[in-house]
Amino acid sequence: MRHLPLAPLLIFYACFLLAPGVALAVLSLRPFSSTLLVGEGWTGANYLTALADPFYLGLLAGTIFLGGAVTLVTLLLGYPLALATVRAGPRLKAMLLVVALSPMLINLVVRSYAWIVLLGEHGLLNAWLRAMGLPSVPLDANMAAVGIGLVHVTLPLMVLSLVAAMERIDQRLLEAAASLGAGEWRILARVHVHLAMPGIATGSLLVFCTAISAFITPRLLGGNRISTISTVIYEKFTFSLNWPLGAALAMVLLALTLIVTALHDRLFRAR
């Protein structure tokens, strides 16, 4: 009886999370049929294609690389912003948090089209470069544009994680390091970063998993030139209509996310 209040929550998760996941897993084990879309019987050929075909292996590697690059850039940009936020006074801190969280206040599609306007061949950035007599920079429909868009989307996740961790740092430890002769940069590199590691780890996990599973940003900013696992899954379900292979790719993406989460939990639980 004591678990009865959890029943509505468990039913909700079972209906809207577990059941769709099981249905997708079952679909991934069905053969493809050009007439029925989903054939009868069971097969592991979809997973063999997803994990052995050079095209899909390259796609998986490219998606992981994109997620890692976005995570690194957001960390480099988010750490000083989070540090300034924690050290600021109440009014400035509120303003910095608003700046950091502002991307989350705008619709994802609107943000993506805004970057298209800025980075396009005839966009504002290239217009300024040409006005100054400089060559234009091809930043539309390529991996750089997708990376910039994903950094914009995921930066608030990193900043919030870092701020939460930095606010728990005992300032006496930093003062002790200073009293022992450590300079500001050495304190930052050897003490502050170590103490902020829980926030770095959590923020990196959130950013990486969000980046590798993103769809709208790669689809709009990458156009038809850049493919990630998410965009190919969409194409399998809508254009080529190979639903079993699309489901297998979705399960591979889910497995990748779970593996990264498990590694994160194992590494930082030991700490």
pLDDT per residue as tens digits for the range 110-124: 888 888 888 877 777
pLDDT tens string 162-216: 999 999 988 888 888 888 888 888 888 888 899 999 999 999 999 999 999 999 9
Predicted pLDDT at 271: 52
**Which residues make Cβ contacts (< 8 Å) with residue 5, sequence separation at least 6?**
none
Which residues of the chain carry a pLDDT beneath 70?
A: 1-4, 270-271
**Which residues make Cβ contacts (< 8 Å) with residue 243, sequence separation at least 6?**
27, 32, 37, 38, 236, 237
Return the bridge partners of 37, or none.
33
CA atoms within 13 A on the CB side of 270: 5
Predicted pLDDT at 259: 93
Predicted pLDDT at 1: 53
Q: Which fold has domain 46-270?
A: MetI-like fold (1.10.3720)
Predicted pLDDT at 234: 93
* pTM for the full predicted model: 0.89
In whole angstroms, what is the distance from residue 96 CA to residue 254 CA?
A: 34
Predicted pLDDT at 187: 85
Q: Strands 37-38 and 32-33, how do they pair?
A: antiparallel
Residue 85: exposure state from Cβ atoms within 10 A (0-12, 13-18, ≥19) = buried
